[in-house]
Amino acid sequence: MTAWLVKNDLSGLTFFGQDWGGLIGLRLVVENPERFDRVVAANTGLPVPDASMSDERLVAVQDFRANAPTPSFADVAKGISSADPRRPEAAFAVWQKWCWETEDLPASTVVAAMVDGRVLTPEEIAAYDAPFPSSAFKMGPRAMPSHVPTLRGDPSTSANESAWEAFEAWNKPFLCTFSDNDPVTAGADQGFIRRVPGASGRSHPRLEGGGHFLQEGRATELSKRVAEFIDET
């Protein structure tokens, strides 16, 4: 991503990241801070494993990943909706395992199920499936959840920790626009608001509804908030 950014010599940018757009893009921002004027984070995060996680919790997830049967999509939905905030890695492990072990991952079904406020049209559903003409093209979305660091020693842990160090010194404008009913990233905005200087003293809108993919569920309001932020800063 940095090679693409530098090759195109882009600057004066406003970064907007939701879900994986944030996990990947927020690190792109801190690697190239001179190219970005402001940041908008929406239903995303920079997860770092719980340093106080007990060996029991660690082993439980490792055993689940290695030995449990492949979850169903219903198991995933149940796991997310009933997640224990004291053991977030357990619920996320269900998602990781389902994605990795489901060869023909239903991309559009996942998106449609996590939008609140409207039903995706057949054309929109087809658009979400278009990049994946067969299961052979789905290795990326299948593997990506397993690269989210949730256990001590997971890949990307040190990279996310370094990104947090950079954002703790980030004084440029930083806005959170999270939805109020996203079970995936609930509360993650508070970490940004508390730790990023550029977010301090700013009003961070909490969008009513929208679900996880709020750019689909609350597109008009989200766009309006981002445009106002750009105008103000």
Q: 66 burial class (0-12, 13-18, 19+ CB within 10 angstroms)?
A: exposed
Determine the residue type at 150.
Answer: T
Q: First CA to last CA across the chain, in angstroms?
A: 26
- Residue 36 has φ and ψ, to the nearest 5°, of -120, 130
- Residue 41 has φ and ψ, to the nearest 5°, of -110, 130
Reading phi first (left if > 0) and then psi (alpha if -120 to 50, else beta), residue 3 is in alpha
CB contact set of 139 (below 8 Å; sequence gap of 6+):
none
Active site residues: 19, 182, 212
Residue 21, CA distances (Å) to 102, 115, 155, 201 in order: 22, 17, 18, 25
